[in-house]
Chain A
Amino acid sequence: MWNRRKEEEKPPPPKPVAAQPAQQPPPQPIKTPAKETSPMSSIPNRPTESFEATRAGNAVLGKSVVVKGQILSREDLTIDGEVEGTIEMQEHRLTVGQNGKVRASVKAREVIVLGTLHGNVETGDRIDIRKEAKLVGDIRTARIVIEDGAYFKGNVDIVRADAPKSTATPAASTPAPSPRPQTPAASSPSAGPAMAARVGETKR
Protein backbone atom coordinates (compact mmCIF):
# COMPACT_ATOMS: atom_id res chain seq x y z
CA MET A 1 0.00 0.00 0.00
CA TRP A 2 2.73 2.39 1.07
CA ASN A 3 4.73 1.34 -1.90
CA ARG A 4 1.86 2.01 -4.18
CA ARG A 5 1.45 5.47 -2.77
CA LYS A 6 5.14 6.10 -3.30
CA GLU A 7 4.84 5.00 -6.86
CA GLU A 8 1.86 7.26 -7.29
CA GLU A 9 3.87 10.11 -5.85
CA LYS A 10 6.68 9.64 -8.30
CA PRO A 11 6.90 12.40 -10.82
CA PRO A 12 5.91 11.45 -14.33
CA PRO A 13 8.70 10.74 -16.75
CA PRO A 14 10.05 13.84 -18.40
CA LYS A 15 8.33 14.71 -21.57
CA PRO A 16 10.33 15.67 -24.62
CA VAL A 17 10.99 19.33 -24.49
CA ALA A 18 9.55 20.81 -27.59
CA ALA A 19 11.54 23.96 -27.18
CA GLN A 20 14.89 22.25 -27.64
CA PRO A 21 14.65 20.15 -30.81
CA ALA A 22 18.24 20.82 -31.77
CA GLN A 23 19.71 19.20 -28.65
CA GLN A 24 17.58 16.05 -28.69
CA PRO A 25 16.89 14.88 -32.22
CA PRO A 26 13.89 12.60 -32.49
CA PRO A 27 14.87 8.95 -32.09
CA GLN A 28 15.20 7.09 -35.33
CA PRO A 29 15.20 3.34 -35.90
CA ILE A 30 18.73 1.95 -36.09
CA LYS A 31 19.50 0.85 -39.58
CA THR A 32 22.37 -1.39 -40.51
CA PRO A 33 24.17 0.17 -43.44
CA ALA A 34 23.85 -1.83 -46.60
CA LYS A 35 27.55 -1.53 -47.25
CA GLU A 36 30.36 -1.25 -44.77
CA THR A 37 31.89 2.16 -44.84
CA SER A 38 35.38 0.98 -43.97
CA PRO A 39 37.17 -0.66 -46.90
CA MET A 40 39.41 -2.58 -44.44
CA SER A 41 36.57 -4.49 -42.88
CA SER A 42 36.60 -8.20 -43.57
CA ILE A 43 33.62 -9.29 -41.56
CA PRO A 44 30.45 -9.34 -43.61
CA ASN A 45 27.25 -9.65 -41.62
CA ARG A 46 29.12 -10.20 -38.38
CA PRO A 47 26.86 -10.17 -35.35
CA THR A 48 27.14 -7.37 -32.82
CA GLU A 49 28.97 -9.52 -30.28
CA SER A 50 31.84 -10.04 -32.68
CA PHE A 51 32.22 -6.33 -33.16
CA GLU A 52 32.32 -5.98 -29.40
CA ALA A 53 35.00 -8.65 -29.24
CA THR A 54 36.94 -6.85 -31.95
CA ARG A 55 36.78 -3.62 -30.00
CA ALA A 56 37.94 -5.47 -26.87
CA GLY A 57 41.17 -6.53 -28.60
CA ASN A 58 40.31 -9.59 -30.66
CA ALA A 59 40.95 -9.16 -34.35
CA VAL A 60 39.00 -11.36 -36.73
CA LEU A 61 39.83 -12.42 -40.28
CA GLY A 62 36.52 -13.45 -41.76
CA LYS A 63 35.97 -16.51 -43.86
CA SER A 64 36.10 -14.64 -47.16
CA VAL A 65 39.55 -13.26 -46.41
CA VAL A 66 42.75 -14.69 -47.88
CA VAL A 67 46.08 -13.49 -46.53
CA LYS A 68 49.48 -14.41 -47.92
CA GLY A 69 52.50 -13.16 -46.03
CA GLN A 70 53.51 -12.34 -42.51
CA ILE A 71 51.07 -11.55 -39.74
CA LEU A 72 52.40 -9.77 -36.64
CA SER A 73 49.66 -9.22 -34.11
CA ARG A 74 49.60 -7.40 -30.81
CA GLU A 75 46.13 -8.55 -29.98
CA ASP A 76 44.26 -11.84 -29.98
CA LEU A 77 43.39 -12.98 -33.47
CA THR A 78 40.72 -15.28 -34.84
CA ILE A 79 41.19 -16.62 -38.36
CA ASP A 80 38.14 -17.92 -40.14
CA GLY A 81 39.58 -17.40 -43.61
CA GLU A 82 42.77 -18.58 -45.30
CA VAL A 83 46.26 -17.59 -44.29
CA GLU A 84 49.53 -18.65 -45.83
CA GLY A 85 52.88 -17.48 -44.46
CA THR A 86 53.93 -16.85 -40.88
CA ILE A 87 52.02 -15.72 -37.83
CA GLU A 88 53.74 -14.16 -34.85
CA MET A 89 51.84 -13.00 -31.81
CA GLN A 90 54.01 -13.97 -28.89
CA GLU A 91 51.86 -12.48 -26.14
CA HIS A 92 48.47 -13.26 -27.58
CA ARG A 93 46.06 -15.97 -28.54
CA LEU A 94 45.46 -17.30 -32.03
CA THR A 95 42.21 -19.05 -32.77
CA VAL A 96 41.83 -20.92 -36.05
CA GLY A 97 38.07 -20.97 -36.46
CA GLN A 98 36.05 -23.84 -37.87
CA ASN A 99 36.30 -22.39 -41.38
CA GLY A 100 39.91 -21.34 -40.96
CA LYS A 101 42.60 -22.80 -43.20
CA VAL A 102 46.06 -21.81 -42.10
CA ARG A 103 49.26 -22.88 -43.78
CA ALA A 104 51.85 -21.11 -41.70
CA SER A 105 54.36 -21.40 -38.94
CA VAL A 106 52.82 -19.99 -35.80
CA LYS A 107 54.30 -18.43 -32.70
CA ALA A 108 51.78 -17.37 -30.08
CA ARG A 109 51.11 -17.44 -26.39
CA GLU A 110 48.12 -19.70 -26.90
CA VAL A 111 46.67 -21.43 -29.94
CA ILE A 112 43.20 -22.88 -30.30
CA VAL A 113 42.52 -24.91 -33.44
CA LEU A 114 39.01 -25.67 -34.60
CA GLY A 115 39.73 -25.70 -38.33
CA THR A 116 42.80 -26.71 -40.33
CA LEU A 117 46.38 -25.77 -39.58
CA HIS A 118 49.41 -26.96 -41.56
CA GLY A 119 52.67 -25.78 -40.06
CA ASN A 120 54.82 -25.83 -36.98
CA VAL A 121 53.39 -24.27 -33.86
CA GLU A 122 55.24 -22.80 -30.94
CA THR A 123 53.31 -21.57 -27.93
CA GLY A 124 54.46 -20.12 -24.66
CA ASP A 125 51.44 -21.38 -22.80
CA ARG A 126 49.19 -23.95 -24.44
CA ILE A 127 47.71 -25.37 -27.58
CA ASP A 128 44.18 -26.65 -27.72
CA ILE A 129 43.26 -28.93 -30.65
CA ARG A 130 39.52 -29.19 -30.68
CA LYS A 131 37.22 -31.89 -31.98
CA GLU A 132 37.22 -32.08 -35.80
CA ALA A 133 40.26 -29.85 -36.03
CA LYS A 134 43.15 -30.92 -38.25
CA LEU A 135 46.72 -30.05 -37.42
CA VAL A 136 49.73 -31.28 -39.36
CA GLY A 137 53.03 -30.01 -38.04
CA ASP A 138 55.35 -30.06 -35.07
CA ILE A 139 54.26 -28.57 -31.79
CA ARG A 140 56.45 -27.02 -29.18
CA THR A 141 54.44 -25.96 -26.18
CA ALA A 142 54.15 -25.96 -22.41
CA ARG A 143 50.73 -27.63 -22.38
CA ILE A 144 48.61 -29.43 -24.92
CA VAL A 145 44.97 -30.45 -25.07
CA ILE A 146 43.76 -32.80 -27.79
CA GLU A 147 40.05 -33.45 -27.96
CA ASP A 148 38.69 -36.76 -29.18
CA GLY A 149 37.96 -36.53 -32.89
CA ALA A 150 40.82 -34.17 -33.63
CA TYR A 151 43.40 -35.21 -36.22
CA PHE A 152 46.99 -34.46 -35.46
CA LYS A 153 50.10 -35.58 -37.26
CA GLY A 154 53.39 -34.37 -35.95
CA ASN A 155 55.78 -34.12 -33.09
CA VAL A 156 54.84 -32.91 -29.61
CA ASP A 157 57.65 -31.39 -27.62
CA ILE A 158 56.66 -30.18 -24.19
CA VAL A 159 58.77 -27.31 -22.95
CA ARG A 160 58.59 -26.71 -19.26
CA ALA A 161 59.37 -23.15 -18.35
CA ASP A 162 60.15 -24.04 -14.75
CA ALA A 163 62.43 -27.00 -15.48
CA PRO A 164 66.18 -26.44 -15.57
CA LYS A 165 67.41 -26.86 -19.11
CA SER A 166 70.64 -28.80 -18.87
CA THR A 167 71.37 -30.11 -15.41
CA ALA A 168 68.40 -32.20 -14.36
CA THR A 169 67.15 -34.97 -16.57
CA PRO A 170 63.47 -34.78 -17.52
CA ALA A 171 62.80 -38.24 -16.22
CA ALA A 172 64.27 -37.33 -12.88
CA SER A 173 62.50 -34.00 -12.62
CA THR A 174 59.15 -35.44 -13.64
CA PRO A 175 57.57 -37.87 -11.23
CA ALA A 176 57.07 -41.24 -12.80
CA PRO A 177 53.48 -42.41 -13.02
CA SER A 178 52.43 -43.99 -9.79
CA PRO A 179 52.54 -47.74 -10.06
CA ARG A 180 49.19 -49.40 -9.98
CA PRO A 181 48.47 -52.11 -7.48
CA GLN A 182 49.23 -55.49 -8.97
CA THR A 183 45.58 -56.46 -9.08
CA PRO A 184 44.42 -55.77 -12.60
CA ALA A 185 41.01 -57.23 -12.05
CA ALA A 186 40.40 -54.96 -9.10
CA SER A 187 41.79 -51.83 -10.72
CA SER A 188 39.83 -52.23 -13.94
CA PRO A 189 36.98 -54.69 -14.02
CA SER A 190 36.95 -54.93 -17.79
CA ALA A 191 40.64 -55.73 -17.89
CA GLY A 192 40.12 -59.21 -16.53
CA PRO A 193 40.86 -61.28 -19.62
CA ALA A 194 43.90 -59.26 -20.53
CA MET A 195 46.35 -60.73 -18.05
CA ALA A 196 49.45 -62.25 -19.55
CA ALA A 197 49.17 -65.99 -19.50
CA ARG A 198 52.37 -66.96 -21.25
CA VAL A 199 55.58 -65.27 -22.10
CA GLY A 200 57.93 -66.40 -24.80
CA GLU A 201 61.10 -64.78 -26.01
CA THR A 202 63.37 -65.32 -28.94
CA LYS A 203 66.79 -63.75 -28.92
CA ARG A 204 69.18 -63.57 -31.77
Chain B
Amino acid sequence: METRSSSGLDQFCSLLVERPGLTLLDLAGANQSTVAFITGLGHRIYSDDFLLQMDRCFGDGDFYENQADPEKTAQFLKSALDYPAQHFDGALVWDSLEFLEGPLLETVVQRLSNMLRPSSYMLALFHAEERVETIPTYSYRIQDRKTITLAPRGRRRPAQFFNNRSLEKLFHDFESVKFFLTRDHLREVIVRR
Protein backbone atom coordinates (compact mmCIF):
# COMPACT_ATOMS: atom_id res chain seq x y z
CA MET B 1 0.00 0.00 0.00
CA GLU B 2 1.20 3.47 -0.79
CA THR B 3 0.46 6.79 0.80
CA ARG B 4 -0.03 10.25 -0.63
CA SER B 5 -0.53 13.64 0.87
CA SER B 6 -3.83 15.28 0.02
CA SER B 7 -4.64 18.96 0.09
CA GLY B 8 -8.26 18.14 -0.65
CA LEU B 9 -8.49 15.93 2.40
CA ASP B 10 -6.84 18.63 4.49
CA GLN B 11 -9.50 21.06 3.34
CA PHE B 12 -12.24 18.54 4.03
CA CYS B 13 -10.87 17.91 7.53
CA SER B 14 -10.96 21.61 8.36
CA LEU B 15 -14.72 21.12 8.56
CA LEU B 16 -14.29 18.25 10.98
CA VAL B 17 -12.30 20.17 13.56
CA GLU B 18 -14.58 23.20 13.38
CA ARG B 19 -17.74 21.41 14.44
CA PRO B 20 -18.28 18.40 16.69
CA GLY B 21 -20.68 15.48 16.33
CA LEU B 22 -20.96 15.42 12.55
CA THR B 23 -22.33 12.55 10.48
CA LEU B 24 -20.08 11.67 7.56
CA LEU B 25 -20.49 9.36 4.61
CA ASP B 26 -17.50 7.37 3.39
CA LEU B 27 -17.97 5.45 0.14
CA ALA B 28 -14.56 3.77 0.10
CA GLY B 29 -15.70 0.78 2.13
CA ALA B 30 -15.23 0.39 5.85
CA ASN B 31 -11.68 0.29 7.06
CA GLN B 32 -10.09 0.59 10.45
CA SER B 33 -7.94 3.59 9.61
CA THR B 34 -10.73 5.91 8.43
CA VAL B 35 -13.20 4.78 11.07
CA ALA B 36 -10.61 5.38 13.80
CA PHE B 37 -9.71 8.82 12.40
CA ILE B 38 -13.28 10.07 12.02
CA THR B 39 -14.62 8.64 15.25
CA GLY B 40 -11.48 9.80 17.05
CA LEU B 41 -12.55 13.35 16.23
CA GLY B 42 -15.92 12.67 17.81
CA HIS B 43 -17.94 12.20 14.62
CA ARG B 44 -20.19 9.46 13.31
CA ILE B 45 -19.23 7.70 10.13
CA TYR B 46 -21.49 5.88 7.71
CA SER B 47 -19.51 3.45 5.58
CA ASP B 48 -20.38 1.73 2.37
CA ASP B 49 -18.41 0.30 -0.53
CA PHE B 50 -19.73 2.19 -3.53
CA LEU B 51 -17.62 0.31 -6.09
CA LEU B 52 -18.78 -3.01 -4.68
CA GLN B 53 -22.40 -1.86 -4.93
CA MET B 54 -21.78 -0.88 -8.54
CA ASP B 55 -20.25 -4.27 -9.31
CA ARG B 56 -23.19 -6.05 -7.71
CA CYS B 57 -25.73 -4.13 -9.77
CA PHE B 58 -23.90 -3.66 -13.07
CA GLY B 59 -21.10 -6.24 -13.01
CA ASP B 60 -23.02 -9.02 -14.74
CA GLY B 61 -22.38 -8.24 -18.42
CA ASP B 62 -21.25 -4.92 -19.83
CA PHE B 63 -20.64 -2.65 -16.85
CA TYR B 64 -21.50 0.58 -18.64
CA GLU B 65 -24.34 -0.72 -20.80
CA ASN B 66 -25.99 -2.03 -17.67
CA GLN B 67 -26.00 1.48 -16.25
CA ALA B 68 -28.64 2.36 -18.85
CA ASP B 69 -30.95 -0.40 -17.63
CA PRO B 70 -33.70 1.32 -15.58
CA GLU B 71 -34.30 -1.71 -13.38
CA LYS B 72 -30.63 -2.14 -12.50
CA THR B 73 -30.22 1.58 -12.01
CA ALA B 74 -33.17 1.73 -9.63
CA GLN B 75 -31.77 -1.22 -7.70
CA PHE B 76 -28.39 0.46 -7.51
CA LEU B 77 -29.77 3.77 -6.27
CA LYS B 78 -31.81 1.97 -3.66
CA SER B 79 -28.94 -0.13 -2.37
CA ALA B 80 -26.21 2.51 -2.53
CA LEU B 81 -27.79 5.92 -2.08
CA ASP B 82 -31.03 5.53 -0.22
CA TYR B 83 -30.57 8.13 2.53
CA PRO B 84 -32.81 10.84 3.92
CA ALA B 85 -32.41 14.41 2.70
CA GLN B 86 -29.74 16.47 4.46
CA HIS B 87 -28.63 13.49 6.49
CA PHE B 88 -24.86 14.00 6.23
CA ASP B 89 -22.49 16.79 7.13
CA GLY B 90 -19.85 15.64 4.69
CA ALA B 91 -19.16 12.96 2.11
CA LEU B 92 -16.01 11.20 0.96
CA VAL B 93 -16.84 9.81 -2.47
CA TRP B 94 -13.20 9.44 -3.56
CA ASP B 95 -12.92 8.34 -7.22
CA SER B 96 -16.21 6.44 -7.46
CA LEU B 97 -17.96 9.01 -9.68
CA GLU B 98 -15.52 8.25 -12.50
CA PHE B 99 -17.19 4.92 -13.13
CA LEU B 100 -20.70 6.20 -13.73
CA GLU B 101 -22.14 6.92 -17.15
CA GLY B 102 -23.61 10.36 -17.90
CA PRO B 103 -27.30 10.10 -16.94
CA LEU B 104 -26.66 7.94 -13.90
CA LEU B 105 -23.77 10.18 -12.87
CA GLU B 106 -26.06 13.21 -12.88
CA THR B 107 -28.64 11.36 -10.82
CA VAL B 108 -26.01 10.25 -8.31
CA VAL B 109 -24.59 13.77 -7.92
CA GLN B 110 -28.12 15.08 -7.48
CA ARG B 111 -28.75 12.52 -4.77
CA LEU B 112 -25.47 13.34 -3.04
CA SER B 113 -26.39 17.01 -3.10
CA ASN B 114 -29.76 16.18 -1.61
CA MET B 115 -28.24 14.03 1.14
CA LEU B 116 -25.83 16.73 2.29
CA ARG B 117 -26.69 19.55 4.63
CA PRO B 118 -26.02 23.11 3.50
CA SER B 119 -22.40 24.26 3.99
CA SER B 120 -21.11 20.70 4.11
CA TYR B 121 -18.20 19.46 2.00
CA MET B 122 -17.76 16.57 -0.37
CA LEU B 123 -14.38 15.25 -1.49
CA ALA B 124 -14.08 13.57 -4.88
CA LEU B 125 -11.10 12.52 -6.97
CA PHE B 126 -10.84 12.48 -10.77
CA HIS B 127 -8.00 11.32 -12.95
CA ALA B 128 -6.73 14.06 -15.18
CA GLU B 129 -4.69 11.98 -17.60
CA GLU B 130 -6.82 11.35 -20.68
CA ARG B 131 -4.59 9.14 -22.78
CA VAL B 132 -5.02 6.00 -20.76
CA GLU B 133 -7.32 3.05 -21.27
CA THR B 134 -7.70 2.14 -17.62
CA ILE B 135 -6.98 3.81 -14.35
CA PRO B 136 -5.99 2.27 -11.04
CA THR B 137 -8.66 1.97 -8.40
CA TYR B 138 -8.03 2.01 -4.71
CA SER B 139 -9.63 1.66 -1.37
CA TYR B 140 -8.87 5.06 0.13
CA ARG B 141 -8.06 5.22 3.82
CA ILE B 142 -7.43 8.29 5.91
CA GLN B 143 -4.16 8.06 7.78
CA ASP B 144 -4.24 11.59 9.13
CA ARG B 145 -5.80 14.84 7.98
CA LYS B 146 -3.27 15.27 5.19
CA THR B 147 -2.40 11.71 4.27
CA ILE B 148 -4.31 9.00 2.43
CA THR B 149 -3.32 5.35 2.29
CA LEU B 150 -4.13 3.68 -1.04
CA ALA B 151 -5.01 -0.01 -0.99
CA PRO B 152 -4.99 -1.21 -4.64
CA ARG B 153 -8.20 -2.70 -6.09
CA GLY B 154 -7.11 -3.36 -9.66
CA ARG B 155 -7.70 -1.21 -12.74
CA ARG B 156 -10.90 -0.05 -14.43
CA ARG B 157 -11.91 1.81 -17.53
CA PRO B 158 -13.42 5.13 -16.52
CA ALA B 159 -16.75 6.17 -17.99
CA GLN B 160 -15.33 9.52 -19.05
CA PHE B 161 -12.55 11.98 -18.29
CA PHE B 162 -13.21 15.32 -16.69
CA ASN B 163 -11.62 18.72 -16.96
CA ASN B 164 -12.29 21.69 -14.72
CA ARG B 165 -15.13 22.94 -16.89
CA SER B 166 -16.94 19.60 -17.02
CA LEU B 167 -16.53 19.25 -13.27
CA GLU B 168 -18.02 22.70 -12.69
CA LYS B 169 -20.92 21.67 -14.87
CA LEU B 170 -21.31 18.39 -13.02
CA PHE B 171 -21.43 20.10 -9.63
CA HIS B 172 -23.51 23.08 -10.72
CA ASP B 173 -25.95 22.51 -7.85
CA PHE B 174 -23.24 23.07 -5.27
CA GLU B 175 -22.25 26.42 -3.86
CA SER B 176 -18.56 26.22 -4.76
CA VAL B 177 -16.08 23.89 -6.45
CA LYS B 178 -12.41 23.89 -5.56
CA PHE B 179 -9.74 21.98 -7.46
CA PHE B 180 -6.37 20.70 -6.39
CA LEU B 181 -4.50 19.40 -9.42
CA THR B 182 -1.73 17.14 -8.24
CA ARG B 183 1.45 16.12 -9.98
CA ASP B 184 0.24 12.57 -10.42
CA HIS B 185 -2.60 13.63 -12.73
CA LEU B 186 -5.27 13.46 -10.11
CA ARG B 187 -7.78 16.22 -9.52
CA GLU B 188 -8.89 16.52 -5.96
CA VAL B 189 -12.19 18.30 -5.87
CA ILE B 190 -13.84 19.82 -2.83
CA VAL B 191 -17.40 20.91 -3.38
CA ARG B 192 -19.37 22.86 -0.87
CA ARG B 193 -23.09 22.28 -0.64
Which residues of A does B touch, CB under 8 Å? Answer: 129, 144-148, 150-158, 169-174, 176-180, 184, 187-188, 190-191, 193-204
Contact (A201, B178) CB under 8 Å given A150-B30, A180-B144:
yes
Instruction: Pick the residue among B41, B43, B47, B181 that contacts A176 (CB under 8 A).
Output: B41
Q: How far is the CA of A172 from the CA of B147 in the complex (A)?
A: 22
Q: Are B40 and A177 in contact (CB under 8 A)?
A: yes
Supposing A151-B29, A152-B47, A197-B181 touch, asked if A174 and B144 sit within 8 A by C-beta, the answer is no
User: Which residue on A lies nearest to B5, using beta carbons?
Assistant: A184
B102 CB-CB contact with A under 8 Å: no
Q: Which of chain B's residues 128-181 have a Cβ closer than 8 Å to chain A?
A: 144-147, 151, 164, 168, 174-181
Contact across chains for A193 and B183 when beta carbons are under 8 A apart = yes
Give the chain A neighbours of B16 by CB distance below 8 A.
171
Q: How far is the CA of A153 from the CA of B81 in the complex (A)?
A: 12
Q: Kindly state whether residue B78 has any CB partner on chain A within 8 Å.
A: no
> Which applies to chain B's interface (DSSP): helix, strand, loop or mixed?
mixed
A153 surroundings in chain B (CB, below 8 A): 30, 47-49
Q: Give 19 new A-B contacts, CB below 8 A, not counting A150-B30, A156-B39, A195-B5.
A: A129-B30, A144-B39, A151-B30, A151-B49, A151-B52, A153-B47, A169-B21, A169-B42, A176-B17, A178-B144, A190-B2, A194-B4, A194-B182, A196-B180, A197-B183, A200-B164, A200-B181, A202-B177, A204-B175
Once the chains bind, are B2 and A170 in contact (CB under 8 Å)? no
Q: Are A180 and B45 in contact (CB under 8 A)?
A: no
- Interface size grouping (class) on chain B: 35 or more
Q: Do A196 and B42 touch (CB < 8 A)? A: no
A172 closest partner in B (C-beta): B20
Q: Which residue of B lies closest to A147 (CB)?
A: B32
Assuming A156-B35, A177-B145, A204-B176, is B5 touching A171 (CB within 8 A)?
no
Instruction: Report which of A151, A174, A203 forms a contact with B41, defined as CB distance below 8 A.
Output: A174
- The 19 sampled A-B contact pairs (Cβ below 8 Å) are A129-B30, A144-B35, A155-B44, A156-B39, A157-B44, A170-B20, A170-B43, A177-B145, A184-B5, A187-B5, A190-B3, A193-B4, A194-B4, A194-B182, A194-B184, A198-B181, A201-B176, A201-B179, A202-B168
Q: Which of A170, A187, A200 contacts B179 (CB 8 A)?
A: A200
Q: Least Cβ distance of A145 to chain B in Å?
A: 6
Max chain A CB contacts within 10 Å: which of B7, B17, B188? B7
B6: interface (CB < 8 Å): yes
Nearest Cβ in chain A — how far from B37, in angstroms? 7
Which residues on A sit within 8 Å (CB–CB) of B43?
A: 170
Q: Are B46 and A187 in contact (CB under 8 A)?
A: no
B23 (CB) vs chain A CBs: closest residue: A155
- How far is A9 from B174 in the complex, measured between Cα atoms in Å? 96
Contact A190 B39 (CB under 8 A): no
Contact status of A200 and B178, CB under 8 A, knowing A169-B20, A177-B37: yes
Q: Which residues of A contact B46 (CB under 8 A)?
A: 154-156
Interchain CB contact under 8 A, A194 and B5:
yes
